[in-house]
């Protein structure tokens, strides 16, 4: 049996990628159980609102073609309904992404503190409810920051993307504020940008390929609909399959999150040797009682 993954250690380029998938293989059942319990409600809500929004859009397209049955009052009623559904879909998507990040990072944080042992759902939930709102607000701020950087001639966005990737692990692993996490992410990346960016690029290519594979049925249905339903390209079947595949593919976000956490610990070891010092200090000592309440740290 393979040895349990130790996060707090130095790793080379290939080891980070390999250990990402090794950790997922070793923790697949408990991690997916926590994922389904804590993220499932947001994903289900997102699927339903996405289906309704796409069907509404298809109905609007059909009515615009048949203008004789589409009065001015009906136009604004349809547009208002679609706008509300689309806004709700965006809100649920943000909540879904946030819940995935918080769940996976809380699981990893507890896994490390328990001595490389999978935590229970109750333990992950205690972290989830403590960090969710903090991660939600910080995630919105960092997404706006990253988007603004990409708008500024693209290059600034590429430069800050590795720092944003390790920002989230810092916030939960170190129980840090937005400002501290932001500053620390850039300090850890100093002189390590190229190697970090290379790992992130490869892992995102892998994640993208997995996502496209899951969404392949929706792509095929879209192509068939374009030929068989030219008058109404957004059919109910297309809306349902597309929405379900889009949200199911979100499970692959776990891959870059785990990878970013391994990158974070690798950078910490290179800068501070924190894991090595902890292991030296722990020689000959009995393990301390585990405490799963983050507020008491």
pLDDT-derived band at 281, boundaries 50, 70, 90? low
Q: What is the pTM of this model?
A: 0.87
> Residue range 219-242: average pLDDT?
72
Between CA 140 and CA 137 the distance in angstroms is 5
pLDDT tens for each residue of 235-251: 777 888 888 998 999 99
Q: What is the pLDDT of residue 75?
A: 66
Q: Determine the average pLDDT of the residues in 130-135.
A: 96
Is the confidence at residue 43, as pLDDT, over 50? yes
What whole-number distance in Å separates Cα of residue 220 and Cα of residue 198?
32
- pLDDT at res. 44: 95
Tokens of 229: 């339903």
pLDDT digits (tens, 9 = 90+) for 153-172: 788 889 999 999 999 999 99
Question: Which residues, including other chains, have CB under 8 Å from residue 16's CB and lie 6 or more apart?
Answer: 199, 259, 262, 263, 266
Q: What is the pLDDT of residue 292?
A: 46
| Distance of alpha carbon 65 from the chain centroid | 39
Give the residue-averaged pLDDT of 103-110: 97
Q: Hey, what's the torsion of the CAs at 240, 245, 247, 251, to 10 degrees?
A: 160
């Amino acid at each position: 049996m393979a040895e349990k993954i130790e996060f707090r250690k130095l790793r080379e380029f290939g080891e980070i990628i390999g250990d990402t998938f090794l950790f997922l293989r070793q923790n697949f059942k408990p991690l997916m159980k926590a994922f389904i319990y804590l993220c499932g409600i947001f994903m289900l809500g997102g699927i339903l609102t996405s289906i309704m929004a796409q069907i509404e859009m298809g109905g609007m397209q059909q009515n615009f073609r048949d203008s004789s049955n589409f009065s001015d009052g009906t136009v604004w009623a349809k547009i208002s309904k679609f706008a509300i559904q689309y806004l709700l879909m965006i809100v649920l998507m943000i909540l879904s992404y946030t819940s995935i990040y918080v769940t996976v990072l809380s699981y990893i944080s507890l896994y490390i503190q328990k001595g490389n042992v999978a935590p229970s759902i109750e333990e992950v939930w205690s972290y989830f409810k403590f960090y969710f709102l903090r991660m939600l607000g910080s995630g919105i701020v960092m997404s706006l920051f990253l988007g603004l950087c990409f708008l500024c001639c693209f290059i600034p966005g590429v430069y800050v993307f590795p720092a944003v990737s390790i920002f989230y692990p810092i916030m939960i692993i170190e129980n840090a504020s937005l400002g501290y996490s932001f500053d620390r992410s850039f300090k850890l990346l100093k002189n390590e940008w190229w190697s970090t960016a290379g790992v992130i690029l490869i892992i995102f290519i892998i994640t993208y390929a997995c996502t496209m594979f899951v969404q392949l049925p929706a792509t095929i249905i879209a192509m068939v609909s374009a030929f068989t339903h030219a008058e109404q390209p957004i059919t109910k079947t297309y809306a349902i399959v597309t929405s379900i595949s889009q949200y199911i593919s979100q499970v692959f976000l776990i891959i870059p999150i785990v990878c970013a956490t391994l990158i974070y610990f690798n950078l910490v070891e290179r800068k501070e040797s924190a894991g090595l010092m902890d292991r030296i200090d722990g020689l000959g000592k009995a393990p301390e009682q585990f405490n799963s309440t983050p507020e008491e740290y």
